[in-house]
A = this chain, B = another copy of it.
Amino acid sequence: MSETPRLLRALGGETLDRPPIWFMRQAGRSLPEYRELRTRATDFIAFCHNPEMAAEATLQPMRRFPMDAAIVFADILLIPRALGQEVWFEAGEGPRLGELPDITRMAGEVEASTGRLSAIGETLARVRAELEPERALIGFAGGPWTVATYMIEGRGSNREAARTFAYEHPEKLDALLRVLVDSTARYLIMQARSGAQALKIFESWAEGLAEDVFERIVIGPHRAIIEQVRAAGVTAPFIGFPRGAGALVETYARAVPVEGVALDTQASAELGRRLQAGGKTIQGALDNLLLRAGGPALDARVETLLAQWSGGPYIFNLGHGVMPDTPIAHIARVVERVTGKPAKAVAAE
């Protein structure tokens, strides 16, 4: 058997005897050991910028479950903070951001922003040093549009204000997206040089966009990021996740040179197979609400997903992140079904 991590083989286009598996938000609040660790920092942003704590959070699910990949513990809003916008988290309410800084001023902060994110590079280096060689390490960033929605609206929302901004201030939005593309590309290059073996772009709010807008504010920026990362000599494969893009996922897959396309919960079997036939590795798309609910419906759905997509390059994952109140036994059951390996008990239980 190859020593190349299973995740990277799948992203290289191989159809494997069984798909690699990891779960979005596998690290975090669903694990009691994370909830214990989290109490040691008062501030979530400070937690993300502490390589010791963030590396520990990244590794916690790897100790417990036979996941094929770890994803660095960080947040998509570290970039706006590094560019000079205030970011904080209200307990139980999610992120809040200060006023959108002047875009020209932020453009002047792009180079410095990467240095302000160096702790995340250190987290990656620590995790890579501890992780077994057959398990891959994933770096990530938010998609520029998704990050921009938070920067414009100041919080999570229905994105109506940001989508209207895209129509009413197209030049200003394009300028903001350029700053985010440049900062994100540098950040991902730094992550790859620090140990990330695959790079994921989370475009969490790709939903509800008209096709022309989607091409301008999602496809264009993703292409630009990948171009810059490749120009720096980084060869790590990309996974693009245009969540909620619906039928536009196919447009995305054709236009953006990602190796992998992450599919959300509503992906059809047919869509996935068309993407595989088009040369993409697909990832997804188990419903995170079903993972939490468990029971025979979960078992049946796992079999369906394995049956419908294992004939091509496939990474088993959720369609969205693990819900905080998901029973650990449900995660363990699915991971054991896919890998053939049981979960391990850990001290915090």
Q: Which residues of A line the B interface, CB within 8 A?
A: 160, 163-164, 167-168, 170, 207-214, 244-251, 264-271, 285-287, 289-290, 292-293, 295, 297-298, 301, 304, 319
A-B contact pairs, 6 of them (CB 8 A): A164-B289, A167-B289, A210-B265, A210-B287, A213-B287, A244-B244
CB pair B207 A207 closer than 8 Å:
yes
Q: Pick the contact of A211: B246, B249, B269, B298 (CB < 8 A).
A: B269
| Contact between chains at B247 and A210 (CB < 8 Å) | no
Distance of A298 Cα from B244 Cα, bound (Å): 23
Q: How far apart are A330's CB and chain B's nearest CB, in angstroms?
A: 12
- Chain B residues near A251 (CB, 8 Å)? 268, 270
The answer for the CA separation of A152 and B207 in the assembled complex, in Å, is 25
Copies in the complex: 2
Given A247-B247, A247-B267, A250-B268; A289-B211 close (CB under 8 Å) = no
The answer to whether B247 and A268 touch across the interface, beta carbons within 8 angstroms, is: yes
* B293→A211 contact, CB < 8 A: no
- On whether A210 and B245 interact (CB within 8 A), knowing A251-B270, A268-B250, the answer reads no
A304 to B215, CA, bound (A): 14
Q: Which residue of B lies closest to A304 (CB)?
A: B212
> Of B211, B250, B269, B301, which one neighbours A266 at CB under 8 angstroms?
B211
Chain B proximity of A170: nearest CB distance (Å): 7
How close is A118's CB to chain B, nearest CB, in angstroms? 36
Residue of B nearest to A215 (CB): B268
Docked complex Cα distance between A266 and B271 (Å): 16
Complex Cα spacing A52 to B244, Å: 41
A208 to B290, CA, bound (A): 12
Smallest distance from the beta carbon of A304 to chain B beta carbons, Å?
7
What chain B residues lie within 8 Å of A319 (beta carbons)?
A: 210
Bound-complex Cα distance A295 to B171 (A): 14
Instruction: Given A167-B295, A295-B167, A301-B210, answer yes or no on A266-B290 (Cβ-Cβ < 8 Å).
Output: no
